[in-house]
Amino acid sequence: MGVEKRTRRLIPLIARKLVSGESLPNNQREILFRLTLHGRETFDAHRAFDNQMERGFVQFLRRYTADELRLLVRVLSEAADASFVSLGGQPASAE
């Protein structure tokens, strides 16, 4: 993704006062973006939520043995690769 596209993606954050931008004194084309106080608070809250979710998920997975988790990974991986749709009236091929 190019710099211009990334910069455009910051516009809503600037409008919500989560990010501020300022031109550099020696180069008006370059803009320095920073989190505002509200942006930092939002970032910290999001990070805390992510950490809490990860701890809960790890605690949940500890109920299962390594063999059970390997089976779960295999089933989900095969399900992601499988085609459950019959195209043109033809059944999906069995592997």
* Residue 86 domain-assigned (yes or no): no
Q: Give the model confidence (pLDDT) of 44-90 as tens digits.
A: 999 999 999 999 999 999 999 999 999 999 999 998 888 877 656 56
Half-sphere exposure (CA, 13 Å, Cβ side) for 31? 14
- The residue range of the domain holding 15 is 3-80
Number of domains in the chain: 1
91 neighbors 82 (Cβ within 8 angstroms): no
Which of the two residues, 11 and 95, has the higher pLDDT score?
Answer: 11
Q: Measure Cα distances from 89 to 83, 92, 94 in Å.
A: 14, 9, 15
* Residue 36 domain-assigned (yes or no): yes
* Residue 72 domain-assigned (yes or no): yes
